[in-house]
Chains A and B, each alone.
Chain A
Amino acid sequence: MKLKIYVTLKNGVLDPQGKAIHHALESLDFKGVQDVRAGKLIELTVDDNIADADIEAMCEKLLANTVIENYAIEKVADSAVQETA
């Protein structure tokens, strides 16, 4: 099974990287972008029987710094994983 862990900055935490991307989009003349927030996607390949508590613990102990970041866990069954060229 694959896990997709999305790590994003909490609301209210300044995101200079997102701001710079936003600025660059505007300088490329793209209109209508109101805000940009940058985050991380961490993909794990794990045993199918892995405990949810262990997944949570991985996020809490290492993958996210919960002082500044939120995380979201998405489980993707192997059959649903498609390679893209």
Chain B
Amino acid sequence: MKSAVIVFPGSNCDRDMAVALEMVSGNKPHMIWHGESGLPDGLDLIAIPGGFSYGDYLRSGAMAARSNIVPSIRDAANTGVRVLGVCNGFQILTEIGLLPGALMRNSQINFVCKDAPLEVAPNRTQFTAAYPAEELISIPVAHHDGNYFAAEDELDRLEDEERVVFRYAENINGSARNIAGITNAEGNILGMMPHPERAMDSKHGGTDGRRLFEALLN
């Protein structure tokens, strides 16, 4: 699997993401600085990592979404390359407009940092294909702005098209309809607040994130 990790000023999960990708695929991902204007050819996956790009100035993800590299990400996504945005990466994908809605301040104001039990809809996208449908998985969350918002008709559309692929088993941040992760209509772009790259090894306290990356090898 040939992958790239996009690095912004203030990204702090980029190296964790790189380690996770190499652990599963055996290949080091290309680390791509946001100021670059192109991506390597033949990518299978573009990962937009967590962190606090540009210090969350203006809105989380707002500045990163206007970076030089973004048109290349959009072009690649439109040709079917898989794009995974985790945490700040999810915020950036909504700010770019590749995913609908917005991530707002958690409803209880507090930063939430804990293992989050998640329900998975496995059939919709390759990202979740390795998870059994009935199983609750546990993946860590760590965010201040994870409160998913979209207009009611947009939420209905997401549900009708089965694009809500991760839901919190209990609502930890005020997210509409317990949404923790969604895909685009085609299913090749996934944005999620929980951090699968932090649940790769038993020493992390859990390995439920690993299957997300492994499923992409198929």
Contact = CB atoms under 8 A, between A and B. Distances in A.
Contacts of B106: 16
Interface stretch (A28-36, A43-51, A63-71): A63-71
A59 B62 CA distance: 12
Which of A13, A61, A63, A65 has most B Cβ within 10 Å?
A65
Interface string B87-100: 00000001100001
B37 interface: no
A67 B101 CA distance: 6
A20 B109 CA distance: 8
Interface string B115-155: 00000000000000000000000000000000101110000
Nearest to B94: A67
A17 B147 CA distance: 13
Interface SS, B side: loop
Given A13-B149, A14-B104, A14-B174, A65 B59 contact: yes
A77 interface: no
B66 interface: yes
A85 interface: no
Interface string B64-75: 001000000000
Given A65-B95, A67-B150, A68-B149, A16 B109 contact: yes
Interface string A5-29: 0000000011011001000000000
B184 to A, nearest CB: 15
A63 B58 CA distance: 7
A62 interface: yes
Contact of B149 (A17, A62, A67): A67
Nearest to A20: B109
Interface residues of A, number: 11
B100 to A, nearest CB: 8
Given A67-B101, A67-B149, A14 B107 contact: yes
Contacts of A63: 58
B27 interface: no
Nearest to A61: B66
B78 interface: no
B102 A65 contact: yes
Interface of B: 58-59, 62, 66, 94-95, 100-102, 104-109, 147, 149-151, 174
Given A14-B107, A16-B106, A16-B109, 5 more contacts: A13-B104, A13-B149, A16-B108, A17-B105, A67-B101
Closest 7 CB pairs of A and B: A67-B102, A68-B102, A16-B105, A16-B109, A16-B107, A20-B109, A65-B102
14 contacts: A13-B149, A14-B107, A14-B174, A16-B104, A16-B105, A16-B106, A16-B107, A17-B105, A20-B109, A65-B59, A67-B101, A67-B150, A67-B151, A68-B149
